[in-house]
Amino acid sequence: MSANGVIEVAIIGGGLAGAALANALLKHRHINVNIFESAPEFSERGAAVGIDLNAQGAFAEIGGAVTDVVERAGGVAMDSSRMVMGAGPNALEKIFDLEPEQRGKAVHRAALLAELLKPIDETQKHTSKRVCQIEDSDSSRAVIRFEDGTQFHADAVIGADGVRGYVRTHILGKDHPATPAQRSDFWDARSLVTVEKAKEILGNDYFAEQRQYGYVGDGGFFLHDGHDDGKMVQFVVSGVSRNEIWAEDEWSKKLDREALEKNIEGWFIPSLHERVVEVMLQNPDLKAFPQTHHAIDAPTYAKGALCIMGDAAHCMTPWQGSGAAQALEDTVILEAVLGRVKNPKQIPAAFTAYDKARRARTQKIVHSSAGTGVILCGRGEDIGLDLAKIQGFLPERWNFIYKHNQAESKKAALADFEKLSGPN
């Protein structure tokens, strides 16, 4: 704690999770937050991110400058979301439409990150700061050492440094089986094109309204949705890693026409297959990326005055569109408990309460998402490409995610903090 009674919080990682938390903590005058990004600049990989009901609810729960951040970043609300069969005897038949009250929003990742970072003072944002060591004890501040030889002292350290970040390793230990994320059985590739080009390739009918489409294939899945105020369309092809063999340290593969054709062979009916190939190849640097997740549950997200959030805590496959939402739900709890901390000695209690509120829920979604991917790729056990069975099994998988009461979760976390923290 500084001489003026301010709690020093260090956030490691400058992606959406870290930026959202740093922004949320600005409302607390007794907290001084600094955010450290290992790259030369703050950036986000990928074109668009889905802001589902839970993410929207989290922004509302946090309030302040983030309340309308998605709109300021050019987010587009989908008028509807439709799932369609892309293969099998019922190809091009509708599986279901998402209920209007469950509509999500699509927003460009870079634009959203830029809006989240705007309110944070330049002196509190640090780039090219890769952590190489953290020294922590119960009796003094943590010392964060960076590869450039500098260091920073903090009362609390929050790892938002992604799936291959340092802080998870420090908390769990480098040899713990839950420390590394594992490759899932899926890969994906993305292409971003203008809405005019999208209409030319797929046809005008698919863009008469701001609707998200997903197509269940025989081993793969195809999705498209709009963002940037409806001017651009994101296309994603995903599937089971059938033909790809990834080297141990390989995290991307270049996809030319031949490679793309090979890897989606037989997934969709011919007419859809041709359009998938053409629209994906609009990306001149098209690459496939293996999807990773924390398949082995961590025993904790916290250790003393350190904790992890977002992908660093619960990396998940994108099949239920919950990665960003869960990072924002983390932010709701962390902002609430840290807002009550008045003494550095209370920080372990705050992080223990956060761990209790978040770990079981997020780990359940990690496993649910992978199982949902199997169904969306037409490979669900005893489901396959059976339209009626997919209609029966698929919609229910989102219920426990969307029905989560964030206000009640925050209330419970604060009650746990009060029990654990004792007198100031």
Residues 148-188 pLDDT 10s? 999 999 999 999 999 999 999 999 999 999 999 999 999 99
Judge whether 135 lies within some domain.
Answer: yes
Judge whether 356 lies within some domain.
Answer: yes
State the CATH number of the domain containing residue 326.
Answer: 3.50.50.60
Question: SS in 3 state form for 367-399?
Answer: HHHHHHHHHHCCCCCCCCCCHHHHHHHCHHHHH
Judge whether 218 lies within some domain.
Answer: no
Q: What is the CA radius of gyration of the chain?
A: 22
pLDDT recorded at residue 98: 75
Domain containing 15 equals: 7-69+107-181+294-376+404-421
Judge whether 140 lies within some domain.
Answer: yes
- Shortest CA distance to 157 belongs to which of 36, 40, 3? 36
The ranges of the chain with pLDDT < 50 are none
Residues 252-300 pLDDT 10s? 999 999 999 999 999 999 999 999 999 999 999 999 999 999 999 999 9
**In the chain, how many domains are there?**
1
CA distance 372 to 164: 24
CA distance 227 to 106: 5
Judge whether 138 lies within some domain.
Answer: yes
Q: Report residue 288 CA to chain centroid gap.
A: 18
Judge whether 99 lies within some domain.
Answer: no
**How many CA atoms within 13 Å lie on the side-chain side of 167?**
34
pLDDT recorded at residue 232: 86
Judge whether 343 lies within some domain.
Answer: yes
DSSP state, residue 318: G
- 127: buried, middle or exposed (CB in 10 Å: 19+, 13-18, 0-12)? middle
CA distance 139 to 345: 9
Q: Enter the tokens of residue 325.
A: 């939402």
Helix (H, G, I), strand (E, B) or coil at 119: coil
Instruction: Answer yes or no: are the C-beta atoms of 280 and 237 closer than 8 Å.
Output: yes
Judge whether 236 lies within some domain.
Answer: no
Strand 182-194 to strand 232-240: parallel, antiparallel, or no bridges (unpaired)? antiparallel
pLDDT recorded at residue 99: 67
- Is the sign of the CA dihedral 116, 410, 348, 303 positive or negative? negative
